[in-house]
Chain A
């Protein structure tokens, strides 16, 4: 046991002190923040030049005093009097927007004219101008027909489907809760997928390195191969937990700082989007509130420990399998590939099942794939937020633990033969034979 601890400690410390580890751990959150800032910047980029647009309104839809068109980035609307031809030569305007009169209030088609020397107008700009005009026509017609503002608004009704149980003990998830659960579930499934691959590969690399370095023969003359393997798995597992923990703290902090520094106030973005979509701000606020309450309502005390169990279980199972492949093939990458598909395939299938499961958490696919141990570490964390029946969780965890023991044992059998085998092309059949080799 002391040797296991020594191996684990070396695997952990030698990785955590590596420059590449420190860089990845610190740079990844920065990169994410940078990506979001750049993405946000690009999405809001409207071109540097300001276009002055002369607006000639002969229809009266823009109202008497106020101009009902919003000045946006890149576009400045100025209401002018006169005819289109008067402004065609005017250098102080880049474009002219002509709003012809509405002849018939019942008409559902309206053509406005936009004069400019630019051949192409961005589709975003066109849409925005059209939407603005539509809104103005809407209020113009409303006033012309003499409709009451509030009663008109009350024609639009938001429908929420609140689910209730048939029997008293039927568990029911509210609709907003299921949206939240989908978000949480998807995020968890994604983290699991990512962790299994990334840290599983790390274990595999460590195994092949020892084999090609030829230190492994010295190692196994001092430590039992199984302890060497376990030390590796535990050491890298701790590295994974360390990294994930650092990210869990750093990413929100850096994002907050970045947003504050670049003045990208989250509320401001939200507000501008609201205006565009003409959604009631109050509605948004109440939605945000319900999201927050749903997030708070989640049973984190259950979700987080279970997530950790699936994380460790899935990681141990898959990384031991990756280690077995690494031990059998050494650093021959093409050979690695041919033996790796039996491991990568279930991970990828589980990933797709996870997507389907967050959409439809009560399906029998969800139930059965969360029992199957190669899928459950990715599928079950995605279901946790949907509060699956407790017996399913218990059974799934029990099967997972049994499978972890089985797969670690299996991989240990392959590993102890593989690390001492050189210069032989290995097939799956060969690996199967190794299981039954005597020590």
Chain B
């Protein structure tokens, strides 16, 4: 089931079209990458999903119904520019944000205790946010995003400014949330993260979605039928015409086939010729390559 559906959403600002007919669906309990170059309309789209602004046209469905006044309790949003009330104490800040998203006082204090215990930060409760280090503040920021058990969490560049340890911690938390059935939308232009953790993705450029689907399926779509072979021994003199060698060096070559089945017969031929195969691996394009290719096509100058 899809927890969030964006259907043909348009948004016009005074002088430019920020979102132009974007559609995609986020399945329940998955990690979803919202990709796009700077200025592609990611933030505008997120603001529509979080209900900060309204779409001119199109609709957004959350948990099977149209977006309405109850949506804040179902969405957790961490903007790229982090923000907390600096002079407010950590405990009362979390309580305030939780209650604004529809939790009762009792529910909220249970949730706050849970997260304080989880990160072992009980001692921060009565500290003001400005007294905490930047890393600590980011933890609080994350807790404030998820405190109300939302169904969908939108994280805008969640790893920016995190050190490797906190980065891993964030990753672990994202996986854990996913395991409880929460869907996480990552908005980013760091492709290696999408590669690593996202299952689904949508790529937006100039306000339009140019690509969407499961990450593995998208990669499949963009693959160029290349394989890398590491071997020992002498290659046969003649190769079948369906095989093209793209790169070759001592004991390693990259080939491109016109049909994936040709790779098997080629392998067969090599083995019969007495070549010792050390590894055989399909080369799939990285999300980064796909991104550059797709965005480059629509953005020839850039």
A214 adjacent to chain B (CB < 8 Å) = yes
CA distance A14 to B86 in the complex (A): 12
B292 adjacent to chain A (CB < 8 Å) = no
Question: Which residues of chain B have C-beta atoms less than 8 A from A3's C-beta?
Answer: 100
Contact indicator per residue, chain B 55-79, by CB within 8 Å of chain A (1) or not (0): 0100000000000000010010111
B: interface residue count bin: 20 to 34
Chain B nearest CB: distance from A143 CB in Å? 77
A222, B84: Cβ atoms closer than 8 Å:
no
Q: Which residue of B lies closest to A227 (CB)?
A: B100
Task: Report which of B14, B56, B88, B97 forms a contact with A218, defined as CB distance below 8 A.
Answer: B97
B84, A215: Cβ atoms closer than 8 Å:
yes
Chain A nearest CB: distance from B160 CB in Å? 13
A221, B83: Cβ atoms closer than 8 Å:
no
Grouping DSSP codes into helix (H, G, I), strand (E, B) and loop, the A interface class, with mixed when no group exceeds half, is helix
Task: Tell me whether A439 and B53 are in contact in the complex, defined as CB-CB below 8 angstroms, given that A14-B87, A14-B88, A223-B100 are known contacts.
Answer: yes
Contact indicator per residue, chain A 211-225, by CB within 8 Å of chain B (1) or not (0): 001111111111100
Question: Which residues of chain B have C-beta atoms less than 8 A from A210's C-beta?
Answer: 83
Chain B nearest CB: distance from A327 CB in Å? 14
Q: Which residue of B lies closest to A439 (CB)?
A: B54
A64 adjacent to chain B (CB < 8 Å) = no
B81, A438: Cβ atoms closer than 8 Å:
no
Q: Which residue of B lies closest to A419 (CB)?
A: B52
Chain B nearest CB: distance from A16 CB in Å? 13
Chain B nearest CB: distance from A439 CB in Å? 5
Chain B nearest CB: distance from A213 CB in Å? 5
Q: Which residue of A lies closest to B72 (CB)?
A: A222
A433 adjacent to chain B (CB < 8 Å) = yes
A402 adjacent to chain B (CB < 8 Å) = no
Q: Which residue of A lies closest to B101 (CB)?
A: A222
B82 adjacent to chain A (CB < 8 Å) = yes
B47, A420: Cβ atoms closer than 8 Å:
yes
Contact indicator per residue, chain B 203-247, by CB within 8 Å of chain A (1) or not (0): 000000000000000000000000000000000000000000000
Chain B nearest CB: distance from A40 CB in Å? 40
B50, B52, B86, most chain A CB atoms within 10 A: B52
A271 adjacent to chain B (CB < 8 Å) = no
B85 adjacent to chain A (CB < 8 Å) = yes
Task: Report which of A7, A14, A214, A439 forms a contact with B81, defined as CB distance below 8 A.
Answer: A214
A217, B96: Cβ atoms closer than 8 Å:
no
CA distance A14 to B88 in the complex (A): 8
Question: Which residues of chain B have C-beta atoms less than 8 A from A349's C-beta?
Answer: none
Task: Tell me whether A214 and B79 are in contact in the complex, defined as CB-CB below 8 angstroms, given that A221-B72, A222-B97, A222-B100 are known contacts.
Answer: yes
Chain B nearest CB: distance from A394 CB in Å? 38
Q: Which residue of B lies closest to A437 (CB)?
A: B14
A6, B99: Cβ atoms closer than 8 Å:
yes
CA distance A216 to B47 in the complex (A): 12
Question: Which residues of chain B have C-beta atoms less than 8 A from A7's C-beta?
Answer: 100
Chain B nearest CB: distance from A225 CB in Å? 8
Question: Which residues of chain A have C-beta atoms less than 8 A from B51's C-beta?
Answer: 221
B72, A10: Cβ atoms closer than 8 Å:
no
Task: Report which of B75, B86, B144 forms a contact with A213, defined as CB distance below 8 A.
Answer: B86
A10, B54: Cβ atoms closer than 8 Å:
no
Contact indicator per residue, chain A 422-439, by CB within 8 Å of chain B (1) or not (0): 000000000001000111
Question: Which residues of chain A have C-beta atoms less than 8 A from B85's C-beta?
Answer: 14, 213, 215
CA distance A223 to B101 in the complex (A): 8
CA distance A18 to B128 in the complex (A): 12
Task: Report which of A218, A222, A433 forms a contact with B83, defined as CB distance below 8 A.
Answer: A218
A215, B83: Cβ atoms closer than 8 Å:
yes
A218, B87: Cβ atoms closer than 8 Å:
no
B75, A221: Cβ atoms closer than 8 Å:
yes
Task: Tell me whether A221 and B50 are in contact in the complex, defined as CB-CB below 8 angstroms, given that A6-B99, A10-B96, A214-B81 are known contacts.
Answer: yes
A438, B14: Cβ atoms closer than 8 Å:
no
In chain B, positions 117-153 with a C-beta closer than 8 Å to chain A are 144
A218, B101: Cβ atoms closer than 8 Å:
no
Contact indicator per residue, chain A 363-395, by CB within 8 Å of chain B (1) or not (0): 000000000000000000000000000000000
Task: Tell me whether A221 and B77 are in contact in the complex, defined as CB-CB below 8 angstroms, given that A6-B100, A215-B85, A433-B14 are known contacts.
Answer: yes
Task: Tell me whether A216 and B96 are in contact in the complex, defined as CB-CB below 8 angstroms, given that A221-B50, A420-B52 are known contacts.
Answer: no
Question: Which residues of chain B have C-beta atoms less than 8 A from A420's C-beta?
Answer: 47, 52-53
In chain A, positions 1-43 with a C-beta closer than 8 Å to chain B are 3, 6-7, 10, 14, 18
Question: Which residues of chain B have C-beta atoms less than 8 A from A214's C-beta?
Answer: 79, 81-83
Q: Which residue of A lies closest to B86 (CB)?
A: A213
B56, A216: Cβ atoms closer than 8 Å:
no
CA distance A319 to B53 in the complex (A): 25
CA distance A6 to B99 in the complex (A): 8
Question: Which residues of chain A have C-beta atoms less than 8 A from B78's C-beta?
Answer: 218
Question: Which residues of chain A have C-beta atoms less than 8 A from B79's C-beta?
Answer: 214, 217-218
Question: Which residues of chain B have C-beta atoms less than 8 A from A218's C-beta?
Answer: 77-79, 83, 97, 144
CA distance A7 to B96 in the complex (A): 8
A6, A18, A433, most chain B CB atoms within 10 A: A6
CA distance A10 to B87 in the complex (A): 12
Chain B nearest CB: distance from A228 CB in Å? 10
CA distance A7 to B97 in the complex (A): 10
Could you show 13 A-B contacts with beta carbons less than 8 Å apart? A3-B100, A6-B96, A7-B100, A213-B83, A213-B86, A215-B84, A217-B81, A217-B83, A218-B144, A221-B52, A221-B77, A222-B72, A420-B52
What is the interface of chain B, defined by CB distance below 8 A to chain A? 14, 47, 50-54, 56, 72, 75, 77-79, 81-88, 96-97, 99-101, 144
Beyond the given A217-B81, A420-B47, could you list 6 further A-B residue pairs with CB under 8 A, ordered by the A residue number? A213-B84, A214-B79, A215-B85, A222-B101, A223-B72, A433-B14
- 9 shortest A-B CB distances, which residue pairs? A214-B83, A215-B83, A221-B50, A214-B81, A222-B72, A222-B100, A217-B79, A439-B54, A221-B77
